[in-house]
Amino acid sequence: MKKEVKFSLVFRDMWQSAGKYQPRVDQLVKVAPAIIRMGCFDRVETNGGGFEQVNLLYGENPNISVRQWTKPFHEAGIQTHMLDRALNGLRMSPVPKDVRKLFYKVKKAQGTDITRIFCGLNDTRNVIPSIHYAKEAGMIAQASLCITHSPIHTVDYYVNLAKTFIDAGADEICLKDMAGIGRPVSLGKIVAGIKAYKQDIVIQYHSHAGPGFCMASILEVAKAGCDYIDTAMSPLSWGTGHADIIAVQEMLKDAGFQVKEINMEAYMEARSLIQEMYDDFLGYYIPKLNHINNSLLIKPGLPGGMMGSLMTDLEDNLKSLNKWKAKNNQPELTTDQLLVKLFDEVAYVWPKVGYPCLVTPFSQYVKNLALMNVIQMEKGKERWSMIADNIWDMILGKSGQLPGPVAQELVDMAKAQGREFETNDPQSYYPDKLDEFRQEMQQNGWELGQDDEELFELAMHPEQYRAYKSGKAKADFEKDLAERKAKKNAPATGEMPKQIKVSLNGQTYEVNIAYGDEAPAATAAAAAPVAAGQGTDLLAPLEGKFYLTKDNSETPRKVGDAVKEGDVLGYIEAMKTFNAIRADKAGTITAILVNSGDSVEEDDPIMKIA
């Protein structure tokens, strides 16, 4: 009898790996029937990871999306699965224990069957509690091996890790080859080793296409006994995404495996609907480079799921850096030049910070650290001159145990700054907070939601949820989309417009357009900053969004506060990390020049200190 290999459509990750946003709930519900009629999928990845957060970012309720999106698959007998970041839940930073436990109850109630639990450090202390919480909530607990290629991450390392997860109660094992740099033969050996330990354990393989190994890897793991293969479909397959279902199905069929047939009429319908979503608004956030494979990714090992946002962010970083270079009479960089410098610096930084697997959030931390090094060195400053607090948390062990040792230069720097390395259970640093969030909801008159799902969203994504509830998130997103549409529709030749009107969702926006080094005219709809006082400007050290606090445990600074040199005055969120802004002198805050949540550019005045 032929060995059966089943398929999962990683619909969430198709979009995550392509660009910045996910489809709206109306789009998801529209495409679900066509995916079901394709007949080849036993599983669909519906949510998790960036899904919930990015819904909030463009002003939509992710709880409504998850419930309506999973429903048709359940009715068709197709399992749904989600991505789960263990200690970090659905976000970049660690989550309190009581919020983690609520997480699984909410997602099970909303209709998600399987949770794919992963920790980029492969720290069992982060993964095993989530296995227990998921099973207690009635979910299938799929524990992940985060795959990378280093002197530490050997076949034996991964087989032993899988054994630990199985002994702890994991229902399934996922080989999460998030950068697609796992070597095919080694991956086959890992699967064979796991099956030798527990023959009936379900194994699912997840890979990205970018570096070029994925088809060979899929064949090797299938031969070794893998049960499920993650796939994508056109127009979001290949590139930084995943292998296309048609190619994978035909390859495995030819190799003698039992696989389900594809209803091509339904495939073409689903393909057309995905293209509609792309053309509607999602395509404005998908860089063209993400459509192509790139073996340059083998060296830095950056994951496909991050490349979608990386290329979008890189455009802003390059613009900001080149603005500085123009001011200082230096030659500007091209995108390719900056990308190669970034890839080289990632390869340099990665061993120095202990070989964390390059997957969220550690891929972002290593990439951000490398990018900040590149930018600072391009400006004549020293490497390591700007390290965000959450990156320090990773280096110091607050997120879990790093696979390898930290470079002595970083150890010395930590000691010089009074930072201590940690060995305690990472969860111990993040106490329970649900009661605080429940109180906030009551004070604001907000409903806790069905199965406490609204309480969960606030607790998991506090800043994004508050911006969603206030309407700021939707307004910011629609303004940004209007600007992108205006720039795309601007004439390529002749006199270039300085202003254009764009209609979006029934709302008309007046968008100011700048070219080259011009500064855009002030937009009438922009929020008015707080009136300026006397004193010296405190300048933004980089481009991003300004926040007075990064969570509700902090008290925001206000005009009249006395500060000491080095005090944290606020944060700039850039590339999914919060970078502390510190006072460069002692004094009194006489003005706060931007509002919390506003976008700022490098060297923009943020506060005045006298």
What is the tens place of the pLDDT at every residue in 187-236? 999 999 999 999 999 999 999 998 999 999 999 999 999 999 999 999 99
Q: Roughly what angle, to the nearest 10 degrees, separates helices 304-327 and 335-352? A: 120
Nearest to 486 by CA among 512, 463, 507: 512
3-state secondary structure of 247: helix
Strand 41-48 to 499-504 pairing: unpaired
List beta partners, residue 539: 605
Neighbour count for residue 292 (Cβ, 10 Å) = 11
Q: CA-to-CA distance for 107 and 435, rounded, in angstroms?
A: 20
Q: CA-to-CA distance for 140 and 570, rounded, in angstroms?
A: 41
Query: Do the beta carbons of residue 390 and residue 578 sit within 8 Å?
Result: yes
**Whole-number CA gyration radius for the chain:** 24
For the cut 90, the answer to whether the pLDDT of residue 157 exceeds it is: yes
Which stretch, 10-14, 280-284, 490-494, has highest mean pLDDT?
A: 10-14
The mean pLDDT value for 261-281 works out to 96
pLDDT bracket for residue 411 (50, 70, 90): very high
Per-residue confidence (pLDDT) for residue 517, from 0 to 100: 46
For the cut 70, the answer to whether the pLDDT of residue 425 exceeds it is: yes
Burial of 493 (0-12, 13-18, 19+ CB in 10 A): exposed
pLDDT bracket for residue 250 (50, 70, 90): very high
The pair phi, psi for residue 458, each rounded to 5°, is: -60, -45
Taking the mean position of all CA atoms in its chain, how far away is CA 259? 32
pLDDT bracket for residue 92 (50, 70, 90): confident
Peptide bond preceding 361 in cis form (omega within 30 of 0): yes
Per-residue confidence (pLDDT) for residue 580, from 0 to 100: 84
Per-residue confidence (pLDDT) for residue 226, from 0 to 100: 98
Nearest to 140 by CA among 204, 76, 231: 204
Query: Do the beta carbons of residue 353 and residue 394 sit within 8 Å?
Result: yes
Query: Do the beta carbons of residue 56 and residue 24 sit within 8 Å?
Result: no
Which residues touch 11 (CB under 8 Å, ≥6 apart)?
A: 35, 44, 45, 46
Q: CA-to-CA distance for 152 and 418, rounded, in angstroms?
A: 29
Percent of the chain with pLDDT over 70: 90
pLDDT bracket for residue 556 (50, 70, 90): confident
Per-residue confidence (pLDDT) for residue 306, from 0 to 100: 61
- Lookup result for tokens 């976008």: 599
Per-residue confidence (pLDDT) for residue 532, from 0 to 100: 52
Please tell me which residue, 36 or 480, carries the higher pLDDT value: 36
The mean pLDDT value for 122-148 works out to 97
Burial of 8 (0-12, 13-18, 19+ CB in 10 A): buried
pLDDT bracket for residue 440 (50, 70, 90): very high
3-state secondary structure of 372: helix
For the cut 50, the answer to whether the pLDDT of residue 180 exceeds it is: yes
Q: What domains appear along the chain, each with residue ranges and CATH number?
A: 536-609 (2.40.50.100)
- Lookup result for tokens 């090992």: 301
Per-residue confidence (pLDDT) for residue 31, from 0 to 100: 98
The mean pLDDT value for 279-299 works out to 81
Whole-number average pLDDT of the chain: 89
Per-residue confidence (pLDDT) for residue 506, from 0 to 100: 54
Query: Do the beta carbons of residue 573 and residue 547 sit within 8 Å?
Result: yes
Per-residue confidence (pLDDT) for residue 218, from 0 to 100: 98
User: pTM of the full predicted structure?
Assistant: 0.81
SS (H, E, C) 546-573: EECCCCCCCCCCCCCCEECCCCEEEEEE
Q: CA-to-CA distance for 67 and 52, rounded, in angstroms?
A: 12
Neighbour count for residue 519 (Cβ, 10 Å) = 8
The mean pLDDT value for 278-288 works out to 89
DSSP 248-299: HHHHHHHTT-B-----HHHHHHHHHHHHHHHHHTGGGG--GGGGS--GGGGT
Per-residue confidence (pLDDT) for residue 340, from 0 to 100: 87
3-state secondary structure of 201: coil
DSSP 135-156: HHTT-EEEEEEE---SSS--HH
Q: CA-to-CA distance for 567 and 570, rounded, in angstroms?
A: 9
Which stretch, 152-166, 283-297, 576-590, has highest mean pLDDT?
A: 152-166
What is the enclosing helix (H) or strand (E) of 45? Answer: strand 41-48
Per-residue confidence (pLDDT) for residue 530, from 0 to 100: 44
Per-residue confidence (pLDDT) for residue 522, from 0 to 100: 44
Return the minimum-mean-pLDDT range out of 11-20, 108-117, 216-225.
11-20
The mean pLDDT value for 42-49 works out to 95
Tell me the per-residue pLDDT of 473-530, one tens digit each, with 9 for 90 and over.
Answer: 999 999 989 988 888 776 655 555 555 555 555 555 555 555 444 444 444 334 444 4
- Cα–Cα distances (Å) from 99 to 463, 495, 498, in that order, read 16, 55, 48
Order of strands, sheet of 587-592, starting from the edge strand that comes earlier in the sequence: 536-539, 605-609, 587-592, 562-563
Peptide bond preceding 235 in cis form (omega within 30 of 0): yes
Per-residue confidence (pLDDT) for residue 88, from 0 to 100: 94
Taking the mean position of all CA atoms in its chain, how far away is CA 106? 21
Nearest to 240 by CA among 171, 307, 314, 331: 307
Taking the mean position of all CA atoms in its chain, how far away is CA 43? 22
For the cut 90, the answer to whether the pLDDT of residue 540 exceeds it is: no
Percent of the chain with pLDDT over 90: 62
Per-residue confidence (pLDDT) for residue 396, from 0 to 100: 95
Q: CA-to-CA distance for 143 and 118, rounded, in angstroms?
A: 6
SS (H, E, C) 375-406: HHHHCCCCCCCCCCHHHHHHHHCCCCCCCCCC
DSSP state of 428: G
Nearest to 294 by CA among 238, 243, 338, 232: 238
